[in-house]
């Protein structure tokens, strides 16, 4: 569990995070939801230690991260896996080498054989067991995200952060990537935080959703509660989504709505 207590951050006197209090629950996909410029990325950067909050504290499973000793902060960082927006693979390395990279950095005590077993396990888990020799330029955007996930979980992460995992993907591929993140989270009981402004993701994997607006947390709940939320800013956000507008139309014309759309079968990515 990650606990955020009264986190505040301003840039040049402009407040971006205005005292955020929230919890990212263990074994769940926690979605950080909000429109552009609401502070999602800044909060994520505060959590992983790339930005220092002006005020407040961040605690990982009871251990305070903010302002703690360097070795304690490093120990927590070693447990964090990151899936970056653009996948951020090393272009000059194969899929296998990209996945192996954090193991070489973070667990130098592992033998080459142990590393190989772990890389093969992770690539299989994300459905890329036959792609190890490929270069990033030879694989699709969806496959790159899969490599990014394999690389993030390779060192047995306890916390997984995904920065807009659907960016640049078509809707069907996005859903497959969401499903993979959701499955991995539940399978390994990790604490996953997904930055998104995608209502598809909310419907698919929103075990716990935190809605940010202008640097404030205005609502939290789960995917079954969100459509009935009373917060006007959240309702405006939800009902500006083309998915929800389409579902409303389906509801008006037939039965099913959102659920019908979510249950549509998808082909494999
Ligand atoms: N290093 C920085 N220096 C100054 N301002 C910054 C910095 N980083 C972010 N900001 C500002 O903080 C605000 C929130 O930015 P942030 O990137 O967290 O938004 P976001 O919710 O992640 O948006 P998006 O969904 O578009 O990525 C923006 O106004 C942005 O310009």
Domain edges within the chain: 2-227
176/140 Cα distance (integer angstroms): 13
32/56 Cα distance (integer angstroms): 18
User: Of the ranges 83-87, 135-139, 198-202, 239-243, which one carries the lowest mean pLDDT score?
Assistant: 239-243
53/64 Cα distance (integer angstroms): 13
Mutation probe of ligand 1 site: the residue of 9, 11, 54 with most atoms within 8 A of C-beta? 11
- Domain 2-227: CATH architecture, name and number where available: 3-Layer(aba) Sandwich (3.40)
Strand-by-strand arrangement of the 14-24 sheet: 14-24, 2-11, 55-60, 63-64
Q: List Cα–Cα distances, 37 to 86, 143, 198, 212, in angstroms.
A: 18, 28, 15, 10
Question: Is the pLDDT assigned to residue 266 strictly greater than 50?
Answer: no
Distance 179 CA to ligand 1 centre (A): 28
User: Of the ranges 122-136, 161-175, 234-248, which one carries the lowest mean pLDDT score?
Assistant: 234-248
Distance 130 CA to ligand 1 centre (A): 38
Distance 39 CA to ligand 1 centre (A): 6
pLDDT of residue 251: 64
Nearest CA to ligand 1 atom 26: 36
Judged by DSSP in three states, 1 sits in coil
Cβ of 11 less than 6 Å from ligand 1: yes
Question: Is the pLDDT assigned to residue 167 strictly greater than 50?
Answer: yes
């Amino acid at each position: 569990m990650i606990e955020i207590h009264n986190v505040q951050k301003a840039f040049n006197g402009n407040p971006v995070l205005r005292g955020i209090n929230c919890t990212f629950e263990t074994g769940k996909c926690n979605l950080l939801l909000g429109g552009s410029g609401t502070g999602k990325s800044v909060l994520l950067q505060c959590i992983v230690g790339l930005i220092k909050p002006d005020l407040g504290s961040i605690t990982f499973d009871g251990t305070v991260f903010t302002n703690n000793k360097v070795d304690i902060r490093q120990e927590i960082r070693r447990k964090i896996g990151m899936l970056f927006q653009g996948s951020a693979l090393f272009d000059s390395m194969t899929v296998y080498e990209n996945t192996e990279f954090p193991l070489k950095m973070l667990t130098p005590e592992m033998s080459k054989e142990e590393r190989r077993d772990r890389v093969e396990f992770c690539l299989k888990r994300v459905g890329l067991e036959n792609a190890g020799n490929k270069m990033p330029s030879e694989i699709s955007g969806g496959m790159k995200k899969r490599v990014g996930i394999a690389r993030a979980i390779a060192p047995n992460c306890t916390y997984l952060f995904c920065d807009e995992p659907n960016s640049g993907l078509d809707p069907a591929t996005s859903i497959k990537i969401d499903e993979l993140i959701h499955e991995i989270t539940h399978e390994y009981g990790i604490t996953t935080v997904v930055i998104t402004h995608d209502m598809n993701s909310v419907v698919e994997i929103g075990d716990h959703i935190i809605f940010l607006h202008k640097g404030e947390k205005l609502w939290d709940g789960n995917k079954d509660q969100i459509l009935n939320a009373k917060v006007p800013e959240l309702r405006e956000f939800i009902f500006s989504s083309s998915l929800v507008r389409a579902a409303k139309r389906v509801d008006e014309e037939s039965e099913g709505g959102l659920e019908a759309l979510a249950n549509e079968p998808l082909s494999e990515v």
